[in-house]
Amino acid sequence: MTDMASAPAQQPTLTVEQTRVVLSEVIQAFSVPENAARMEEARESSCNDMGKMLQLVLPVATQIQQEVIKAYGFNNEGEGVLKFARLVKMYETQDPEIAAMSVKLKSLLLPPLSTPPIGGAIPAS
């Protein structure tokens, strides 16, 4: 009988330096033409609708991240991406480089939605 409690679930922990490397690789993965095309297609299909963004863009973005981080011991479920995101968040406050890359990654995941200007009606002259 194996004692599951004594075998810790594979919980990858990265140093600040390793996190920087992985984060930069994740960001680079989004500029690979095939991935950029997948993201663009998902964005176009979502028509700037936040609900559709979450349904269409997020899964593609998650898959792209998983491809990179699984090499660093994160599991290939969405859970691995969440653990990596928590790790990044933890280091953001300690490391300006990680904080900057995190902002860049977020902008890749969820581009600013174009909202009509407030009082968007153009006065008829």
Is the residue at 6 inside a domain?
no
Q: Report residue 94 as tokens.
A: 């300690």
pLDDT number for residue 2? 43
What is the CA 73 to chain-centroid distance, rounded? 17
In angstroms, the CA 100 to CA 96 distance is: 6
Is the residue at 57 inside a domain?
yes
Is the residue at 23 inside a domain?
yes
Q: Structural domain of residue 91, as residue ranges?
A: 16-109
- State the total domains in the chain: 1
Cα→Cα distances 64→11, 26, 30, 101, 107, Å: 20, 8, 7, 16, 15
What is the percent of the chain where pLDDT is above 70?
A: 78
How much is the pTM? Answer: 0.77
pLDDT tens digit sequence for 33-72: 999 999 999 999 998 788 888 899 989 999 999 999 999 9
